[in-house]
Amino acid sequence: MRQAPQIDMQRIERVAIVKLSSIGDVVHALPVSAALKRSFPHLQITWITEERCAEMVTGNPTLHEVLAIPGKAWRRGVWHPHTWQEARRVVSLLRSRRFQLAIDLQGLLKSAVVAWLTGAPVRIGYHWQREGAWLFNRVVPKEPTSVHVVQEYLDVARYLGAETEPVEFPLFIPPEAEERVCRLLEEQGISPAEGFISINPSAGQPFKRWRTERWAELITLIDRQYRLPVVLVGGKADRPLAEDIRARTSAPFVDMVGKTNLKELAAILRRSVLHLCGDTGSAHISVALGKPVIGLYGPTNHLRTSPYGQEHRMITHKHECPICNGGNPRREHSDCMDMITVSEVMQMLERTLLEVTTHV
């Protein structure tokens, strides 16, 4: 890809990356900051994100600063006094940085507006600009070979003349998060040196979730065949899933669902032997940490959002799903997920554990 015309990166110093959400998408975009800083060390890169995702970029050594802006807090309504107060604060904050270049990696109207509010005279966005975002940004063309969203984001770095190989995910975990996770695991009988399997039974939307009875059966089989501890992870909203799984199996597992922040979740994933999950952010955090991931995918575009570089460990039946390949392929449904059996997940688990132990 040719370098962007009229954008001389040697004359630009202050860059804003706008990637507001979600957790997995923010992780997908991390290699852009790494590629830009590696190719142009003089850059001062600021990442603008929503408060709930800020932990995914704080401590990133390629960044000069992280600016966290409200997300859900603004949903009180456009006429609410607090909304206007926050809006004025954020605009003042953005303008004070005097950005020269804004990169919109979200591609939505809200992110395009944030990029515009930075006051940067040059604003570019990756190829998928929706909701009128293209009215605010110069659209970066997509490389035909860029299938995964990580590579789509890196198209923007290539457009600016950056070298994008190797693909690096600068995800920082502070010592205090490691220490707390170590303490929590020890309280549950897992020593720091002991291997365990982490499982996230949730996903952003219900139709992307595997049934809890199958997760329970899987945990039972793991306990019976491998005697490896299982650690369940997830957010506070996932507590009902954890409780339902607990009610369906007598096999022991450590329940960390809703008990950690994002940094601590990452610390758990880094300590695990491998991670099992659906289409959710913990899959991509594990990839960033270099851990094996077995992903269970339903009707979503798995080629674009599967665990990057680990597509061979992904399990999906979308290609044989009658809804995906029939009357209404865009309809949200769980038929694809229901086609995934406990047996095939166990087979993938066995192959992955063999790979892990072989390379130790």
Taking Cα atoms as reference points, which of 26, 71, 23, 19 lies closest to residue 235? 23
Taking Cα atoms as reference points, which of 147, 113, 115 lies closest to residue 131? 113
> Could you read off the pLDDT of 230-287 as tens digits, one per residue?
999 999 999 999 999 999 999 999 999 999 999 999 999 999 999 999 999 999 999 9
CA distance linking residue 325 with residue 321, whole number of Å: 6
Residue 358's pLDDT band, with cuts at 50, 70 and 90, is: confident
CA pseudo-torsion sign 190, 192, 194, 196: positive
CB atoms within 10 A of CB 296: 28
Instruction: Supply the mean pLDDT for the chain.
Output: 92
Q: E strand or H helix at 195, and its extent?
A: none
The per-residue DSSP string of 222-239 comes to: HHHHT---EEE---GGGH
CA distance linking residue 359 with residue 357, whole number of Å: 5
* Domains (range + CATH), the chain: 14-159 (3.40.50.2000), 176-359 (3.40.50.2000)
CA distance linking residue 142 with residue 115, whole number of Å: 20
CA distance linking residue 293 with residue 355, whole number of Å: 12
pTM (predicted TM-score): 0.93
> Could you read off the pLDDT of 87-139 as tens digits, one per residue?
788 889 999 999 999 999 999 999 999 999 999 999 999 998 888 888 889 99
pLDDT (average), residues 216-241:
96
pLDDT (average), residues 305-328:
88
Give the pLDDT of residue 204.
83
Question: Percentage of the chain with pLDDT > 90?
Answer: 78
- Whether a cis peptide bond, with omega within 30° of 0, leads into 292 is no
